[in-house]
C-alpha cells in the first residue's frame, strides 16, 4: 500500500492539487519533484505496547507552509485508507473467485468419483459386502431346496419303478391266464411253480417297500431274487407264446380288471415321469443358483477391498470439498463486509493539525551548536599555533629539552627596555 501511495502517479496528483514545489517544477523535471516529495514523506509503524493492541502507524510530511503541510498529510492518510480498502476488497474478491473455481473443479471430481462408485456397485451387484449375510441365507435356503428336490426325485424314481413293476406283473399274469393251460387261473394256483414263486416275490417286495426303505436288506434281497426269476419267466412266456402260435390259439386278451389297473398304473407312471422331469429341471436350476451364490460369496472379499479404496478416496475428496465450501462462505462474508466497509480497516486516530512552530530549523539548537563549535575552534587554533612554535621561552623549557641544568640566562635587553619605558 505504501508503494502504491508513494507512486509517481499519485504523488503527481497531490503535487498538482496543492500546487507543491512550484519553484522546483519550473526548474527541474517532474521526476525530480516527485522524488523530492517522496523523500519528504515518512511512514512509521508503531510498536504494539500490549498483546491485543491494534496495529498503528504514522504518516508525516515536511514542507514550508504549515496549513499546506496539514492538508497534504491528511490527504496522504486518506489515500492510504482508500487504497487499503480497495486492496482488501480485491483480495476478498480474488479469494472468493479462486475458491469458486476450486469448488467447481472439486465438485466435478466428486461427481465422477460418485459415478465410479455407482458403476462399481452396479457391476458388483450381489457381491457387495453388505449383501454377504443375505447371500449366505439364500445359499443355505437353496441348498435345502436342492436337497429336498433330490429326495423327491429319488422318491419319484422309486414310485416309477414300482408302477412299472406292477404293470409288468399284470401283463405277465394275463399272458398266462389267456393260454389254454392257464386260462381262468390268476397265477395263484399250482399251474406253474415258477410263476407262483414270481408272483409271491412281487407281493413280498411290495409289502416290504411299504414298510422299509429301498436300502433295507430285505428289499434289496427281494429285488435280487425277482431279477433272477425275471429271465426265467420271460423264457417261459416266450415258450408259452410260441406254443400258442403253434396251436393257433387266440392272442392273449386282458380282462377288464387288468385293463383298468394297467391304465391306472400307466397314468400314475406317466405322471411320475412328468414329476421326475420337472423335479430334475428344478434341481438343475437350483444347482445353477447355488453355484452363482457360491461365486458371489467368494468374490465378496475382493469387491470389499475395491470398494474400500474407492470410498476412501471419495470420503477424502468430500472432506476437502466441505472444507473449501466453508472457506468460500467465510470469503463471501469477508467480501460483503469489505463492500459495506464493516470489516477490519484503518481509521485516522490523530489527524494532522497546523503546526504551531516549525519542525526545523531549531534556532536555539543551532546557536548552542555554533557556540560549542566556536569554542572548540578557538582552543584548537591556539593549540595549533602553540604546537608550531619551536622557541624556548623559559629556563624549564631549555632544561626539559636539553636534559642538562642551565648555568646562566641572558635576558632580552629589548624586552627589558620596553618594560622600563
Domain residue spans of the chain: 2-108+328-339, 130-320, 364-420
284: left (phi over 0), alpha (psi -120 to 50) or beta: alpha
Contact 79, 31 (CB under 8 A): no
Burial of 296 by CB count in 10 Å (0-12 exposed, 13-18 middle, 19+ buried)? buried
Alpha-carbon gap, residue 394 to 381, rounded angstroms = 22
Task: Give Rg (Cα) of the chain.
Answer: 65
The DSSP code for 51 is T
Alpha-carbon gap, residue 59 to 2, rounded angstroms = 10
Chain-centre distance for alpha carbon 302: 20
Closest of 176, 179, 178 to residue 187, by C-alpha? 176
**∠217-222-224 over CA atoms, to 5°?**
95
Alpha-carbon gap, residue 317 to 320, rounded angstroms = 5
Residue linked to cell 414310485: 159
Which residues are CB-contacts of 325 (< 8 A; sequence separation ≥ 6)? 103
The DSSP code for 129 is G
pLDDT the model gives residue 362? 63
pLDDT the model gives residue 47? 60
23-50 burial: b if 16+ Cβ within 10 Å, else e = eebeeeeeeebbebbeeebeeeeeeeee
Alpha-carbon gap, residue 76 to 90, rounded angstroms = 21
Contact 68, 36 (CB under 8 A): no
Alpha-carbon gap, residue 323 to 327, rounded angstroms = 6
Which residues are CB-contacts of 170 (< 8 A; sequence separation ≥ 6)? 254, 258, 261, 262, 265
Closest of 216, 214, 202 to residue 154, by C-alpha? 214
| Integer CA distances (angstroms), 258 to 161, 187, 309, in order | 19, 13, 75
pLDDT the model gives residue 342? 46
Q: Enter the pTM of the model.
A: 0.40
pLDDT the model gives residue 417? 56
pLDDT the model gives residue 181? 42
pLDDT the model gives residue 198? 74
pLDDT (tens digit per residue) in 378-415: 888 878 777 776 666 677 777 777 778 877 777 766 65
pLDDT the model gives residue 335? 65
Alpha-carbon gap, residue 129 to 305, rounded angstroms = 9
Q: Going residue by residue through the chain (421 aa), what tens digit of pLDDT does each one get?
A: 567 668 888 888 888 888 888 888 888 899 899 999 888 888 887 665 555 556 677 888 888 888 888 898 888 888 887 777 777 777 766 777 777 888 888 888 888 888 888 888 788 788 888 888 998 999 999 999 999 988 888 888 888 888 877 777 777 666 555 543 443 333 333 346 777 777 777 777 766 765 676 778 888 888 888 888 877 777 776 676 666 555 544 555 555 676 788 788 888 888 888 988 998 899 999 999 999 999 989 888 888 888 888 888 888 888 888 888 888 777 777 666 655 554 456 666 677 777 766 666 666 777 788 888 888 888 888 787 777 766 666 777 777 777 788 777 777 666 555 555 5
Say how many Å lie between the first and final Cα of the chain, rounded.
85
Q: How many CA atoms lie within 13 A of 258 on its CB side?
A: 17
Alpha-carbon gap, residue 154 to 413, rounded angstroms = 172
pLDDT the model gives residue 412? 67
pLDDT (tens digit per residue) in 262-307: 788 888 888 888 988 998 899 999 999 999 999 989 888 888 888 8
The three three-digit cell numbers of residue 202, written as one number: 412281487
- The two most distant CA atoms of the chain are separated, in Å, by 218
The three three-digit cell numbers of residue 100, written as one number: 469458486
Contact 24, 36 (CB under 8 A): yes
Residue linked to cell 397314468: 267
Alpha-carbon gap, residue 243 to 206, rounded angstroms = 32
The three three-digit cell numbers of residue 207, written as one number: 409289502
Amino acid at each position: 500500500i505504501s508503494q502504491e501511495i508513494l507512486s509517481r502517479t499519485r504523488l503527481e496528483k497531490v503535487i498538482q492539487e496543492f500546487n507543491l514545489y512550484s519553484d522546483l517544477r519550473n526548474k527541474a523535471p517532474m521526476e525530480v519533484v516527485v522524488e523530492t516529495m517522496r523523500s519528504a514523506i515518512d511512514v512509521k509503524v508503531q510498536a504494539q505496547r500490549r498483546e491485543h493492541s491494534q496495529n498503528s502507524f504514522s504518516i508525516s510530511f515536511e514542507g514550508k507552509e504549515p496549513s499546506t503541510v496539514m492538508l497534504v498529510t491528511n490527504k496522504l492518510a486518506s489515500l492510504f485508507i482508500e487504497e487499503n480498502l480497495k486492496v482488501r476488497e480485491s483480495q476478498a474478491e480474488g479469494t472468493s473467485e479462486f475458491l469458486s473455481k476450486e469448488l467447481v473443479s472439486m465438485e466435478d471430481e466428486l461427481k465422477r468419483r460418485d459415478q465410479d462408485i455407482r458403476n462399481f456397485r452396479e457391476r458388483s451387484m450381489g457381491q457387495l459386502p453388505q449383501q454377504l449375510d443375505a447371500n449366505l441365507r439364500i445359499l443355505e435356503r437353496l441348498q435345502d431346496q436342492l436337497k429336498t428336490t433330490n429326495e423327491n426325485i429319488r422318491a419319484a424314481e422309486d414310485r416309477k419303478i414300482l408302477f412299472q413293476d406292477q404293470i409288468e406283473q399284470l401283463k405277465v399274469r394275463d399272458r398266462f391266464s389267456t393260454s389254454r393251460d392257464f386260462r381262468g387261473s390268476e397265477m395263484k394256483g399250482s399251474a406253474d411253480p415258477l410263476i407262483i414263486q414270481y408272483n409271491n416275490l412281487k407281493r413280498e417286495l411290495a409289502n416290504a417297500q411299504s414298510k422299509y426303505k429301498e436300502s433295507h436288506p430285505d428289499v434289496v434281497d427281494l429285488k435280487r431274487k425277482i431279477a433272477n426269476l425275471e429271465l426265467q419267466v420271460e423264457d417261459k412266456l416266450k415258450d408259452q407264446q410260441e406254443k400258442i402260435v403253434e396251436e393257433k390259439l387266440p392272442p392273449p386278451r386282458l380282462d377288464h380288471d387288468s385293463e383298468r389297473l394297467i391304465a391306472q398304473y400307466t397314468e400314475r407312471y406317466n405322471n411320475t415321469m412328468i414329476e421326475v422331469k420337472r423335479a430334475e429341471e428344478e434341481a438343475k436350476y437350483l444347482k445353477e443358483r447355488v453355484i452363482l451364490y457360491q461365486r458371489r460369496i467368494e468374490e465378496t472379499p475382493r469387491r470389499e477391498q475395491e470398494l474400500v479404496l474407492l470410498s476412501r478416496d471419495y470420503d477424502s475428496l468430500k472432506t476437502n470439498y466441505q472444507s473449501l465450501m466453508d472457506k468460500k462462505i467465510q470469503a463471501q462474508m469477508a467480501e460483503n463486509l469489505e463492500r459495506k466497509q464493516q470489516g477490519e480497516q484503518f481509521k485516522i486516530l490523530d489527524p494532522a493539525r497546523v503546526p504551531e512552530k516549525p519542525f526545523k530549523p531549531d534556532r536555539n539548537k543551532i546557536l548552542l551548536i555554533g557556540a560549542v563549535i566556536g569554542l572548540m575552534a578557538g582552543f584548537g587554533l591556539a593549540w595549533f599555533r602553540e604546537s608550531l612554535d619551536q622557541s624556548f621561552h623559559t629556563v624549564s623549557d631549555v632544561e626539559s629539552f636539553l636534559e642538562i641544568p642551565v648555568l646562566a640566562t641572558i635576558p632580552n635587553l629589548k624586552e627589558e627596555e620596553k618594560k622600563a619605558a
